[in-house]
Amino acid sequence: MRRTILLALVTTAWLGLGHLAHASVTGVCSNCHTMHNSQGGNGVVTGGGGPQSALLVTTCVGCHQGRNTSNSETPYVFDPNGPTYGTTGTETNTNTLAGGNFYWVSMGNDASGHNVQGIAGQDSRHGNTPPGGSALPAQLTCAGAYGCHGDRTILDQAKSIAGGHHNHQVSGWKSGASIEESYRFLLGIKGLESASYEYHPTTTDHNKYYGIDRSVETDTATGSISSLCAQCHGQFHDGSGEMVPSGSSFGSGIWLRHPTDFDMSRAVARRQEYEAYNGGTGTDNPYSVVSPVATADTTTNLNTTVFSQSDDAIVMCLSCHRAHGTPYDAILRWDYKSWPGGGYNGCAVCHTSKD
Ligand code: HEC
Ligand code: HEC
Ligand code: HEC
Ligand code: HEC
Ligand code: HEC
């Protein structure tokens, strides 16, 4: 009897916390926050740094480093002991997430990741200049004005993502309207988030990336995942005379740079090549986690098939790259440089007659 009452009380307390139960971060405040960064006269911040913004006990990198397992609560993007990536980062023995991992760039292979401050030194070849764009005033950071996450007009990293960790809901279409309503706190970017961050992704369990099937090369495709990359690597995505030669129109089959935010169903030349995407026939092809595509669909239905509705076969930067790092040059999802011979030809998921 007493047990039943206790259980009922616990249940009520749990339900009473309705909004918190949906919030992303849970647990004791002091796990993550320190009121004065002082305990018995000693600093609390891990690694011995001074007080952090938002009264945090460590930096973004401090919390987000470790090894992912099937029940980690924090998404780990940097595994200092060396994660298992496999051939494409999707095999069942891997322990990296959708963005890959910053490990290889931390070990000095500058080409294998974004050289984020606190993980790696400045890139020896690019400095702070993103290829296809203009130099940043300082080294890349996770968030804020010099980073990818959060409000890119705000310098302070924690301030730039303020509210994200507590107000974020894992489920639901992210409209881009606020930090917590943006795909992975990338302000303005839309999408649907895999609850496991693509730990062991499959055709039926993965992120849903938003894309736009453009008709002109100057369309910045606001809200698409590729438009995020374009904020720094602009010329690789849009701009007059950047994607197609002058006199040609976007989508006429003549390219200066590999198309992104372009739907494969509009391929002019060798269309059958793309209709065979990932072993399919041009209707309901299985989605590939090796070379994924974006979709213009903004519902919470997961895109497990491709060529099932209009604009669901959109080439994006992440069809070939990962955002954080991989073992391979140019942060590619697979080892393009060593193929053929070794490596892996992920291009063939789309260019099916080029394997
Ligand atoms: C698992 C880690 C974690 C726990 C536990 C946690 N927080 Fe936070 N909190 C964060 C992070 C990270 C930020 C800063 C970034 C952000 O706002 O998303 C933050 C930001 C905040 C902010 C400022 C932004 C906002 O959402 O208003 C407040 C206030 C706050 N936390 C209070 C609390 C309180 C009170 C508790 C305990 C009930 C708590 N936090 C527990 C991680 C945590
Ligand atoms: C005190 C620990 C802590 C700190 C500091 C922290 N995070 Fe997190 N972060 C977490 C945890 C825990 C989660 C997972 C929350 C969940 O989904 O349950 C998370 C989730 C995230 C996510 C995934 C959100 C999503 O859409 O699923 C992003 C992106 C992120 N953090 C970025 C950052 C950035 C950028 C910083 C630095 C400004 C930062 N974090 C600082 C603990 C932290
Ligand atoms: C905040 C600006 C910024 C954003 C947004 C950004 N990048 Fe970068 N990127 C850089 C900078 C700076 C470099 C050069 C320094 C480095 O590699 O760290 C770079 C380098 C790269 C490289 C070359 C790696 C090397 O070192 O040779 C690739 C590939 C890349 N980015 C892809 C992407 C993709 C894909 C996205 C979108 C998911 C993206 N970037 C978003 C700033 C950015
Ligand atoms: C997600 C699908 C996809 C992936 C992955 C992909 N491509 Fe493409 N590629 C396309 C589409 C669609 C076009 C445009 C075809 C058109 O306009 O007719 C294209 C165009 C090209 C072109 C221009 C020639 C032409 O037919 O217009 C080359 C060259 C090319 N891709 C090479 C590559 C290489 C190399 C890789 C791997 C590093 C790769 N692609 C990966 C879909 C893809
Ligand atoms: C079809 C596959 C594919 C797509 C789509 C793609 N890339 Fe690449 N990217 C590559 C390959 C392959 C390389 C390696 C160098 C090369 O072959 O040109 C590369 C190299 C890069 C580099 C390094 C350039 C340097 O000077 O070191 C950056 C930065 C980059 N890509 C950014 C992007 C961005 C941003 C997008 C989306 C707008 C994008 N890529 C879309 C395949 C792709």
Give how far Cα 71 sits from Cα of 94, 171, 205, Å. 14, 17, 16
Dist CA 284 CA 24 (whole Å): 34
Q: What pLDDT, on the 0 to 100 scale, is given for residue 314? A: 98
* pLDDT (average), residues 176-204: 97
Which of 233, 258, 334 is the best mutation target for the ligand 3 pocket, counting ligand atoms within 8 Å of the beta carbon and taking the most? 233
Distance 322 CA to ligand 4 centre (A): 17
Which of 255, 303, 332, 335 is the best mutation target for the ligand 4 pocket, counting ligand atoms within 8 Å of the beta carbon and taking the most? 255
Dist CA 163 CA 180 (whole Å): 7
Which of 232, 322, 326 is the best mutation target for the ligand 3 pocket, counting ligand atoms within 8 Å of the beta carbon and taking the most? 232
Residue 32 Cβ inside 6 Å of ligand 3? The answer reads no
Atom of ligand 3 nearest to the CA of 136: 12
Q: Which residue's CA lies nearest to atom 3 of ligand 1?
A: 32
Q: Is cis: bond before 340, omega within 30 of 0?
A: yes
Low-confidence winner among 5-19, 43-57, 267-281 (lowest mean pLDDT): 5-19
Q: What pLDDT, on the 0 to 100 scale, is given for residue 26? A: 87
Q: Which residue's CA lies nearest to atom 12 of ligand 3?
A: 130
Dist CA 113 CA 70 (whole Å): 24
Q: Which residue's CA lies nearest to atom 9 of ligand 3?
A: 130
Work out the pLDDT band at 274, boundaries 50, 70, 90: very high
Q: What pLDDT, on the 0 to 100 scale, is given for residue 355? A: 67
Atom of ligand 2 nearest to the CA of 160: 38
**Chain centroid to CA 187: how far?**
12
Per residue in 288-313, pLDDT (tens digit) is 999 999 999 999 999 999 999 999 99
